[in-house]
Structure formats: structure tokens, C-alpha cells
Structure 1
Amino acid sequence: MTEILFYITNRAGEGVQTALAWRIADKAWRQSHRIYIHCGDAEHARAVDEAFWRRPATGFLPHEPAGPDAASPVVVGHGDDPGDHHDVLINLAPAVPDFATRFRRVAEMITGDPDLREAGRARFRFYRDRGFDIQSHRL
């Protein structure tokens, strides 16, 4: 069964969710995992991709936009098809994607922003109501 991990922070503001996603993706990449970062739409995916190029100034996380030729260990995408990824999903979209359960591990984030917090709570209930074992990590 898919392992569900929630990362919870009270920090709020622009970029908090993306910075947290970078940290999770960096750790997973260093453990030799392949990561698919799911965004709500194309604009969000572009913003995450651009932020990953700037963050942090002292590190590098090999990533690229999703597409049929994407070969990077970290792929940033949106929509209904994560390609051939099935290892780690970092979900930055407001809802649980239909393909979430095909991944071994799903990382979800709840930040202090009211809208993101409420959407995160709804995703938590979604997984809980379907019997998934959920691990929460307070940051």
C-alpha cells in the first residue's frame, strides 16, 4: 500500500510550500529515489521549476519539466499523467491526484496559509477515510 507522509508547518507566506517541496525532493533524491512533483496547473509547475533553479544558492537538485523525454530524477509536472513515475510523489496540487496510489510514497504539505491548510486537511481526510496509514511530521 502507498505510504502517505504529511509534513506540517505553521510557517506561512509565498514560497513556503515550494521550499518544503525542495527539501523533501532533495532528501529523496540523495536516497536515490525518483520524484514526481505534481502541481495544480502549468503556471504553478513553471513557477516551481523556476524556484528550484534558484533554491538554495549553495545546492543543486537535478530536475526538469515533465514530458515524454524527461530523464531527470526529479520531474515537475501537472495534469493527469505522471509518465512512468511510481516511486515518490510530492503533491503540491490542492486535491489528491487520481494517480496517487500508483506511487510507493506520497508526500503532502500543510502550511500555515489558511487556504493551503484547509486543502491539506481535506487531503488528509481523503487518505484517512480510505484506510491509508498516514504519518505526520511537524516541522
Structure 2
Amino acid sequence: MTEVLFYISNTPGIRARLAWRIAEKAWRQQRRVYVHTASEQDAQALEALFWQQPATAFLPHVLANDTIAAGTPVVVGFGDDPGEHHDVLINLSTTVPDFYSRFTRVAEMICGDPEQRNSGRQRWKFYRDRGYPVQDHHL
């Protein structure tokens, strides 16, 4: 059964940095990561940010439509197809993607503004109502 982890913080603007930290930790554990965003524009912005965060580290990643995505440990994408990655899903969308159950682990984040917190509560309820074990980590 898919393990669902919620990372909860009151700090605004932390989602991208937190996604990087979770992806980096999973990569170091030799896991394959798919970072799901709401749109192509969000995916491109996050991928660019991943090249800059932090300046002293490296996280091997590409956009999902890149020709080397299948062989890259961390992929950033959007839409309905996570490609070859089915180990760790980091969901940065406001909704639960249809393919979430293909993954061993799902990382969700609730950070910042009231709208984001509300959509996070809806995602928590979605998983709980389907019987998934949900764990929370308060940051």
C-alpha cells in the first residue's frame, strides 16, 4: 500500500525548497523520484530552481519530457503520465493526481496561505477516506 507523508509548515514560500530536500534525501537513498506540478510552467520554474538550490549541492534531475528522463533519478513533470518513475511521488499540485497509487511513497506539503492549507486538508481527507496510512511531519 502506498505510504503517504504530509509535511506541514507555516512558513510561506518553502514548498520548492522542501521538495528539493525531500527529492535529494530520496535520491541519496537510491530511490527514483517524480515531482508532480500543476502545469508545464510550474514544472519549468521548479526545474530551473532545482539547478540553483542550494548552490553547494547537486541533484540530478530533468523535465519529464526530456529524452533522458527514464534514466534520471529525479524527474519534474505535470499531467497524467509520470513515465518510468513509480517509487517516490512529490505532489506540488493542489489536487491528488490520478496515478498516485502507482507509487510506493507520496510526499504532500501543506505550507503558507489559507488556500494552500485548504487544498492540503482536502488531499489529506482524500487519502484518509481511502484507507491510506497518513503520517504528518510538522516543520
Residue 101 of structure 1 aligns to which amino acid in structure 2? S
Contact 1:68 1:83 in 2 (8 A): no
Secondary structure, counterpart of 2:123 in structure 1: helix
CA contact (8 A) 1:64 1:72 kept: yes
* Structure 1 residue 40 corresponds to structure 2 residue 38: yes
Task: Name the residue aligned to 1:119.
Answer: 119
Percent identity between matched residues is 60
Report the alpha carbon displacement of residue 68 of structure 1 after superposing the two structures with TM: 6.4
Q: Hey, what does 2:133 align to over in structure 1?
A: 133
Pairs aligned (count): 137
Q: TM-score, normalized by length of structure 1? A: 0.96
1:94 alignment partner AA: T
2: distance between equivalents of 1:114 and 1:26? 28
1:23 corresponds to which residue? 21
How big is the shift at 1:85?
Answer: 1.2
Stretches of structure 2 that go unaligned for 5 or more consecutive residues are none
Distance 2:26 2:88 in 1: 8
The 2-side partners of 1:68 and 1:99 are apart by 20
* CA apart distance, 1:39: 0.3
Shift in Å, 1:112: 2.2
**Secondary structure of 2:11's partner?**
coil
Question: Do residues 77 (structure 1) and 77 (structure 2) align?
Answer: yes
Q: Secondary structure at the match of 1:75?
A: strand
**C-alpha root-mean-square deviation of aligned residues, in Å?**
0.9
| Cα offset, 1:57, TM superposition | 0.7
Spell out the pairing of 1:30-109 with structure 2 (5 A cutoff).
30-67=28-65, 69=67, 70=69, 71-109=71-109
